[in-house]
Amino acid sequence: MNSCSCVELIEYPVVFKNGITHIRVECVECKKFIKWKPQPVNLFKLWFGIYKGVPLQNVPYDYLNWLLNNHSNKKLIGKINKYLSEN
């Protein structure tokens, strides 16, 4: 039986095939998988345009604002709104 109490955890990013990054949380000692955490929204990367591959935290505010008014992708709009409300 596994006697590890899994109190000391480690987190690291894993990029999925669809390009989405999640944070994998596992036990430092026994390596048991604990859970997936969504990537912090400030690290969400644009997948198009002149800021392709750039995390939201490094994209100029004016451009984010422009996207809000000119882009129809619900997922993108949701991420930008969340980011702006937290920063």
Interface ranges with Zn ion (CB under 5 A): 4, 6, 27, 29-30, 32
Q: Is 28 helix (H, G, I), strand (E, B) or coil?
A: coil
Minimum CB separation from Zn ion for residue 2, in Å?
7
Minimum CB separation from Zn ion for residue 35, in Å?
13
- Residue closer to Zn ion by CB (options 7, 50) is 7
Neighbouring residues of 29: CB distance < 8 A, sequence distance ≥ 6: 4, 6, 8
Would you give the DSSP letter of residue 63?
Answer: H
Would you give the DSSP letter of residue 10?
Answer: E
Minimum CB separation from Zn ion for residue 7, in Å?
8
